[in-house]
Amino acid sequence: MAKEKKVEAITDMEVDFGQWFTDVVTKAELIDYSGVKGMYILRPYGYAIWENIQAVLDKRFKELGHENVSMPMLIPESLLQKEKDHVEGFAPECAWVTMGGSEELTERLCVRPTSETLFCDHWSHVVHSWRDLPMKYNQWCSVMRWEKTTRPFLRGREFLWQEGHTLHATAEEAVAETKQMLEVYAECCENWLAMPVIRGRKTEKEKFAGAEDTYTVECMMHDRKALQSGTSHYFGDGFAKAYGIAFSDKENKLQTPHETSWGLSTRIIGGIIMTHGDNNGLVLPPRIAPIQVVVVPVAAHKPGVMEKANEVYELLKKAGVRVKLDDSDNSLGWKCAQWEMKGVPLRLELGPRDIENGQCVCVRRDNFEKVPTALKELETAVPALLDAVQQGLFDKAKKNMDENTHVAQTLEEAKAIQEEKGGFIKTMWCGSLECEQRMKDEAGMSSRCRPYRQEHLSDRCAVCGGEAKEMVIWGVAY
C-alpha cells in the first residue's frame, strides 16, 4: 500500500535512537514542549504514569515510617553556602531569583536544585533531644537545575521527583536507612517497572556533592547505555555540623546526628521508555500503565457488538483492571496502531465472530501474540495475561543487560569492547582516581558503580596493573 501512515510514524531506533526517543515521548502524548528550554509539559498520559509510580513509592515510604512534608522552593544564598562540597557541586547549575516585584532583593535566592540545606536548617531549629530522632521526611516536588543540554525526561531544567531526608542518632542507623531506601528503589524498578537493576555504590569521583557515600541502582537501556535510576546518600555528620544540628543523648551529652537523603525522579519514565519501547512506540509495564487493557470493538455498528464491548469493559473495571473502551469511529487498523504507539500492554479485540464463539482476542503488546480468550474466563485470564506481559518485559530487559555485560582484564580490552559492543564492562580496579579518569579519557566510560555483588576477575587493576581492590562496572551513561 502506498498510503501514508495515519498515526504519526516514528523513527526506527536502529536508525537514530535519540530521534526515536523524542518521537515516542511526543507522539505517545507524554510530553509537550513549553516556551522555556528544558522545561516540559507532562501531559495527562505522561503524568498518569508518574502518579502510578508515586503511588507505589509513597505507600512504601509510609510503611517504613516516613512522613511527607513541603519545603520552600527558594533557598537564601547564605544558607546554601554552609556546606562547602555541596555548594561547589550545585552552584554552577543554580537558577537565582534576584528581584521581588520591581525591587532588587538584598540577598539572592536560589531555586532549589535539591533541598538538603532546607531540611538541615529546619532540623537545627526543631531537633533537641534523642527523643526527637529519627526524623524521616519525604517531599514530592520539582527542583531546578540549569542544565546546558536538555532532553525530555532524561535531563530537564525543572523536573519532578521525591526527595527523602532522614536524620538519625547514630551512623549505623543512618547507613542502614541509606541501604534500605536503595533497596526500595531497586524493588520498585524490578517489581513494578520491570527494569532489572544493578545495586552498588558510587566511586569517590561520582558520588553526590557533600555525601560520604552514594548508593545507586543502574539500569541498561535499549541502546546499551546506562541510566542511574535511583540514588541514596549517606552524609555522615558533615551537614549536621555545617548547619548546627545537635541533640542531647540519654547521658545528656551533646551529639551530632547523622543524615541521609534519597531521590527518584521523572527521569525513570525516560528509563521505562528506553528499556521497553520498540519501533511501534511505547511499551508500558502493566503494573504502572495508566491503561492496562484497551477494548477495541470490531465492526462496532453490527448489532450486539457495542453492547458486548460495554459488558466486557464493565466486567474488567469491576475486576480492578485499568481498562479503556475505544468507542471512537476510527478504523480498526488506526486504533491498533494508536494503542500500540501508546504502549497499552493488552488489546482486547471483540467482533461479531468472537461473540458468536463466546470469546475475544487478546493481543500482547510485548510480543504481539494473539491469545483467543473465552469471555467467561476474562476476569481471571486478563490479570494473568497482564502478569505475563510484566514478566515478559522484565525477562527481555534482563536478557539485554546480561548479554551486553562483558568482562575486561585491561584498559585496551575495555576500550575495544566499548567501541565494538558497548554495554556494561566489568573490570577490577585499584581504587585510584587516576585509573578511573583514564578509563573515562581513553575508553569514554565512567564508573557506574561498585556493585554489591562483587566478582573476583583477577588480582590486578585493569588500568594500571596494580593491586586490585574491587570490581567496578563501567559504561556510557545518560
- Residue list 347-386, contact with RNA (CB under 7 A): 347, 349-355, 361, 363, 368
399 closest CA partner among 191, 194, 183? 194
The neighbour count for residue 368, using CB atoms within 10 Å, is 11
What residues contact residue 333 under an 8 Å CB cut-off, 6+ apart?
A: none
Pairing of strands 405-407, 424-429: parallel
Handedness of CA 41, 47, 51, 52 (dihedral sign): negative
User: By C-beta, is 50 or 247 nearer to RNA?
Assistant: 50
Residues of span 246-305 touching RNA by CB under 7 A: 263, 265, 280, 298-301
Per-residue interface string for the shown chain with RNA, residues 185-224, x marking contact by CB under 7 A: ---------------------xxxxxx--x----------
Give whichever of 133 and 348 is closer to RNA, judged by the CB atom.
348
Question: Minimum distance between the CB of residue 17 and RNA, rounded to whole angstroms?
Answer: 7
What is the DSSP pairing of strand 31-33 with strand 40-42? antiparallel
Select from 43-51, 88-96, 377-385, 413-421 the region that touches RNA (CB under 7 A): 88-96
Q: How far is the CB of 147 from RNA (least distance, A)?
A: 7
Q: By CB under 7 A, which span of 150-158, 168-176, 245-253, 268-276 interacts with RNA?
A: 150-158
21 part of the interface to RNA, by CB under 7 A: yes
Which of 2/126 has CB closer to RNA? 2
Q: Which is nearer to RNA, 19 or 129 (CB)?
A: 19
Residues with Cβ within 8 Å of 299's Cβ and at least 6 positions away in sequence, in order, are 305, 351, 352
Among residues 12, 51, 93, 412, which is the contact residue for RNA, using CB under 7 A?
A: 93
Q: 79, 32 in Cβ contact below 8 A? A: no
Instruction: Determine contact, residues 458/409, Cβ cutoff 8 Å.
Output: yes
Q: Does 6 bind RNA (CB under 7 A)?
A: yes
Q: How far is the CB of 159 from RNA (least distance, A)?
A: 8
Query: Residue holding cell 533537641?
Result: 128
Contacts of residue 15, defined as CB under 8 A and 6 or more positions apart, other chains included, come to none
Q: From the list 12, 14, 16, 434, which residue makes contact with RNA (rule: CB under 7 A)?
A: 16
Contacts of 121 (CB under 8 A, 6+ apart): 79, 243
Q: Out of 95, 246, 332, 407, which residue is the one contacting RNA (CB under 7 A)?
A: 332
Could you say which of 59, 62, 128, 148 contacts RNA (CB under 7 A)?
148
The size of the interface with RNA (CB under 7 A), counted in residues, is 74
Q: Which is nearer to RNA, 113 or 271 (CB)?
A: 113
CB 283 within 8 A of CB 274: no
Which residues in 25-44 contact RNA (CB under 7 A)?
Answer: 33, 35-39
To RNA, the closest distance from the beta carbon of 106 in angstroms equals 27
Closest distance to RNA from the beta carbon of 154 (Å): 9
Region binding RNA by CB under 7 A among candidate stretches 70-78, 122-130, 336-344, 454-462: 336-344
Please report how close the Cβ of residue 313 comes to RNA at its closest, in angstroms: 16
Per-residue binder mask for RNA (CB under 7 A), 390-429, x = binder: ----------------------------------------
Contacts (Cβ under 8 Å, ≥6 apart) of 420:
none
Residues in 434-463 that interact with RNA by CB under 7 A: 444
d(CA 428, CA 450): 10
Q: Which residue do the cell numbers 526543631 mark?
A: 126
For position 8 contacting RNA by CB under 7 A, the verdict is: yes
Q: Candidates 67, 333, 395, 433: give the one binding RNA (CB under 7 A).
A: 333
Nearer to RNA, 367 or 454 (CB): 367
Q: In the structure grid, which three cell numbers stand for residue 92, read together?
A: 554552577
Q: Which is nearer to RNA, 180 or 330 (CB)?
A: 330
Does 149 bind RNA (CB under 7 A)? Our answer is yes
Taking the complex as a whole, the smallest distance from the CB of residue 361 to RNA amounts, in Å, to 5
Among 336, 362, 425, 473, binds RNA (CB under 7 A): 336
CB atoms within 10 A of CB 91: 15
